[in-house]
Amino acid sequence: MQILFTHYKSLKVTMSSISFFFVCFFLFLLNGSDADAKCFQREQIAKEAKAKAAAAVAVSEHVEKAEGDVKEEPKDEEPLNIIDSAAQPAAPSMAHDEIKLHMWDGSIVGGKVSVQSIKVMTEFGQMTIPIKQIVEFYPGLDSFPKKQARLEQLVRELGDGTYQVREDAHRALVKMGLPLRKEILKFTDGGSVERKKHLIEIRKELDELLEDAEDMDAPPQITELARYDKVVTPNMTVVGKIQEELFEITSKFGELKVRLEDVEHASRDVKIPKDEIRKKLTLDSDNFYQRKPKSAGIRVSKGDRIRIKAGGVMDWTNWNTSSTPHGLTNQGNWRSINSGTLIACIGKDQNNVLKVGAEKEWVAKRNGVLYFAIAVQDNYVKGNSYRWSGNYEVKVIVKPVSK
């Protein structure tokens, strides 16, 4: 019995060991399977991440290639926020019998006029112009007898024997100034040395005043008095003597009577197209911007469309080279514009200079006289050691904004 008990005990220990072995083995397999699963999962995640990264790289390369295939648009030399002449608002409409009378004292009288037309005596006979066809009219100097008499008196006093009389007349004529500029310049010296001297000086002063006014951003409206009255219609301009000396106007303030001699000009809100202005200019080394920009003789208004075409050759003697309006790439620059390049500006403010080259079209963003010049590096125009010959030929077309 003792022996059997001992064998049984040994067998029980053996069975326990075997059971423990199988339990451990089972647990080992279970843990291994879980580790493999986790490992497999990690591999899958890694593969997916790698695939996504590869896809992202492929997309990035595709985008970069697409972007590389697109040519970069050239940047304009000037901002694009320009005013298109076609976008100008139409003038407000007026009734056929309405008119505005702009007085010499600065006031404006507007309303219905009692007459249906005005009569103008011309050198070809009398013309009758309906009020509804009038865009504007300007009474001439002959319609202002007092002003005409005063003008003639002052010109006579320029030759007076008294110094102070001459000086007072000189100042008075300059003060009357720009509206009468053309008429003042028509007077002759009449054989008087003093009158001749003063007329020459007055001419210079009035020219300077006109140039200063033209270069303003918002220049004053200057109505130059001609000898005869002028009536503007959409189709023609009539010059002669307006026969009506008195206008009866019905306004919101009641009925008014206005004399022609008190009217600086009359207007009606009628929008009419304007003709193109064409000019040809020649520029040479005298017209480098630092020397003297050249006036086109055209005063442009905000909204006018300007078109330029230029050609010609300038020889740069000291450098043994030549340039066209496009300019040179190896002779320095002025305000980031290559030397030899044709440039333009409205007024003489260099902050408004535009690069033109051989061809350009733009819309004026300010009022003023149109100037052209040639860009050149500053140190080239200091002194007289450098030489140029030849010139540029410039064609200018200005399409005015509709009035």
pLDDT 10s digits, 238-269: 999 999 999 999 988 889 999 998 898 899 87
For residue range 58-106, list pLDDT tens digits in order: 434 443 443 344 333 333 333 333 333 333 344 446 788 899 999 888 8
Mean pLDDT check: name the lowest of 48-52, 175-179, 305-309: 48-52
pLDDT of residue 213: 66
Share the mean pLDDT of the chain.
77
Give the three-class secondary structure for 23.
helix
pLDDT of residue 111: 92
Question: Could you tell me if residue 42 is left (phi over 0), alpha (psi between -120 and 50 degrees) or otherwise beta?
Answer: alpha
Q: What percent of the chain has pLDDT over 70?
A: 72
pLDDT of residue 19: 54
The answer, as to whether pTM is greater than 0.85, is no
Instruction: Inform me whether the pLDDT recorded for 210 exceeds 50.
Output: yes
Distance of CA 223 to CAs 67, 137, 179, 346, Å? 58, 11, 5, 22
Instruction: Inform me whether the pLDDT recorded for 398 exceeds 90.
Output: yes
Whole-number Å distance between alpha carbons of 325 and 313: 8
Tokens of 44: 């899958």
Distance of CA 360 to CAs 97, 288, 343, 365, 397, Å? 44, 19, 10, 15, 11
Q: How many CB atoms lie within 10 A of CB 107?
A: 9
pLDDT of residue 115: 92
Whole-number Å distance between alpha carbons of 90 and 54: 61
Mean pLDDT check: name the lowest of 135-139, 184-188, 290-294: 184-188
Whole-number Å distance between alpha carbons of 163 and 327: 56
Instruction: Tell me the pairing of strands 294-300 and 117-122.
Output: unpaired
Instruction: Inform me whether the pLDDT recorded for 347 exceeds 60.
Output: yes
